Amino acid sequence: MLDIIYQDDYLIAINKPHGLLVHRTAMASDAKEFALQLLRDQVGRKVSPVHRLDRKTGGLLLFAFDKENEIAMQKQFMEGQVKKKYLAVLRGYAPDSMDIDYPLMKDNGVMQDAFTSFITLKRAELDIPFGKHLTSRYSLVEASPTTGRMHQLRKHFAHIFYPIIGDRKHGCNKQNKFFKEQWEMTTMLLHASELNFVHPVSGMPIALKAAVQPEFGAVLEMMKFV
């Protein structure tokens, strides 16, 4: 059963587990379950996602029950009216805060503006040697992207040399292997924690929050971030 964070007559939001695809895609033919179908069967109504989360990203995923509100919410996302926050665990000691203004290229070669701000919430130094270092250092950050490009946070953190732990495509392969060997963890430590928007029907502000998934939470405890 999916964890439903919010539901009314028009919208429904879940806390998506890491590894679950939003919907069926030819790019991941190995997948047998999808958030779209699972949620539809769970609530007994047709649902449509109004935005996307990567397969490996956990957290808040918003759906609409009808086409009119699907379009209205997609418009809010596209126009940057939805305020989003993510939690991520990065390699190394990240700066206290930073604005990343770094354009990203689409698959068709077109460059798009991309903006991310983040603050570092906590840092950890583990007494576990890594490579030539006597200890291992990590940062827990809260990121606020103001654009919604594909893999934006993953690419932006890799660009500033503080990659997200567990990101196989854009991250640090040595760190990912280290986490798998040390703790049998393959989860990407990126979580969509908050969504703030105006309800398309009532016009009221909606503020949603979702707790991290258990595997993410175990890492936070191990690093004494919580």
Q: What are 102's two structure tokens?
A: 């770094």
Predicted TM-score (pTM) of the model is 0.94
- Confidence (pLDDT) at 109: 85
For 133, residues 6+ apart whose C-beta sits below 8 A from its C-beta are none
Direct distance between the N- and C-terminal alpha carbons of the chain, in angstroms, rounded to an integer: 27
Per-residue model confidence (pLDDT) at position 29 = 60
* Strand spans (E) along 8-114: 11-16, 48-49, 58-64, 83-91, 97-101, 104-105, 111-112
* Cα–Cα distance measured from residue 79 to residue 168, given in angstroms and rounded to the nearest whole number: 30
What residues of the chain score a pLDDT lower than 70?
24-31
Contact indicator for 175, 189 with CB cutoff of 8 Å: no
Residues recognised as catalytic: 54
44 φ/ψ sector (left φ>0, alpha ψ -120 to 50, else beta): left
pLDDT at 77: 96
Q: What does the pLDDT look like over 123-145, one tens digit per residue?
A: 999 998 888 889 999 999 999 99
